[in-house]
Amino acid sequence: MTKITKVKTGGKLEELSSYSRIVMVDNWIYVSNTAGRNPETQEIPEELEAQTHQVFDNIEKALSAVGASLQDVVATRVFIQTPSDTPKVMGIFGEKFRGVDPTTTVTCPPLGSGVYKVEIEVTAYRGASQADITYIDTSK
């Protein structure tokens, strides 16, 4: 039988919009688009780098609630408010995912509020970090 686990993190928008931060179906983990709001203070850092690190902190905390980590991430979607911020955001992204190498989509649409500079959504598979991985380089 399929097992579904739903994780709430107490965010105001989760309640208002009736959604979960994570929905896990068996070992597949779907993490909602996540902004850089600090869950304890409810503040959003103004600085791009601090906001990006807070996004990752929020995602990592949610993943740990279901026994997973960033090393289990297999796909990501990165939403950046201002296109010129892309190199800085993706530099931090690269630090976090070095060696994990998930598929990634990066886009620069308007976000739900002007205070959000970056949001990230991930899909993970619990146990992917322990999988036997084969790399294929088609550039050679």
- H or E, element range at 79: strand 73-80
Q: How confident is residue 90, by pLDDT bands cut at 50, 70 and 90?
A: very high
The pLDDT value recorded for residue 10 is 81
Q: d(Cα 75, Cα 122) in Å, to the nearest integer?
A: 6
Token code pair at residue 58: 């929020």
The pLDDT value recorded for residue 9 is 85
Q: What is the mean pLDDT of residues 30-49?
A: 93
Domain ranges of the chain: 4-130
Q: What are phi and psi of 81, to 5 degrees?
A: -60, -45
The SS3 of residue 72 is helix
Average pLDDT score, the chain = 95
Q: What is the mean pLDDT of residues 48-56?
A: 98
What is the distance, to the nearest Å, from the Cα of residue 102 to the centroid of all Cα atoms in its chain? 11
CATH number given to 4-130: 3.30.1330.40
pLDDT at 63 over 90: yes
pLDDT at 67 over 90: yes
pLDDT at 66 over 90: yes
pLDDT at 12 over 90: no
